[in-house]
Amino acid sequence: MWLNDEKINNIAISAYRKSLLSSCPNHIVIDNLFNEAKLDNIIKALQQKHHWKTQRHTYSALYVDDALWKQTDNDQRFVQRDTWQPEAHTRDTTYSNTIDKNTIDTNTAHDFLLFLRSDEFMAVLSRIFNTTITDINVEDPDINTNYFRLGTADFVEQHADDSPGREVCMLLYLNKNWNQNAGGELVFSGKDKPISIAPFYNRCVLFDPSSQGSEHWVKKLNSEYSDPYRYNVTSWYWSE
């Protein structure tokens, strides 16, 4: 089981709905939503250096190559980070003693991404957001759920995630023993003042990207206090 049952019972869902509707932006923070023991294995997979590739976005174009990035003004660059490469791992379905621990951990990390796009998990989101979340009309669902990491030289500047039909954005943080002075907070523009959320381990943030105040950014890492990387899962979901 990936989910902690006490976090998704009817009482909990009702509380999430109330908090969601009364916040600006419409968002909730759920700590310990997932099985921590299983997440621990994912961390081991994310620490494997060969699974990562640099990703860059500008305000005018996504997935910018090195040549275009060099030609882009700094104020037009809004994302530089590393993304996990699902094409770099192929699930090993043999169960012999020859399978190494890295392969097992990588398979677990891949399984979690699949779970986040499963009917089971999307049913939970549907209950919280009171709408039907589904991949039935999504051309390539897998590209909408992945692991990311930020180093001290990386950044995520202010932007919106409000693509047409997108109902839910999810962020899950995978940072053990994160120092409160390390930076890396998610910041929503909010209504009257910004809302800052620390990237603590097994902390899940769900928000409506079309709601007021949902534009957001990430505070830069403080190299004096932070680990080499800040890890998270980002996942986007659509309605019918």
Number of domains in the chain: 1
* pLDDT at residue 131, rounded to an integer: 96
* pLDDT at residue 50, rounded to an integer: 86
CA gap 145, 156 in Å, rounded: 17
Length of the chain: 240
Q: Kindly give, in sequence order, each residue whose CB lies less than 8 Å from that of residue 139, ignoring residues fewer than 6 positions away.
A: none
Half-sphere exposure of 25 (CA within 13 A, CB side): 28
Residue 41 has pLDDT above 60, yes or no: yes
CATH of the domain at 123: 2.60.120.620
Taking the CA atoms of 27, 10, 31 and 141 in sequence, report the sign of the dihedral they define.
negative
- Note the pTM of the prediction, 2 decimals: 0.93
Q: Are strands 145-150 and 52-58 parallel, antiparallel or unpaired?
A: unpaired
Structural domain span for residue 164: 5-238
What is the arithmetic mean of pLDDT over 147-164? 96
What is the average pLDDT score of the chain?
92
What is the arithmetic mean of pLDDT over 60-81? 95
CA gap 82, 149 in Å, rounded: 5
* pLDDT at residue 86, rounded to an integer: 59
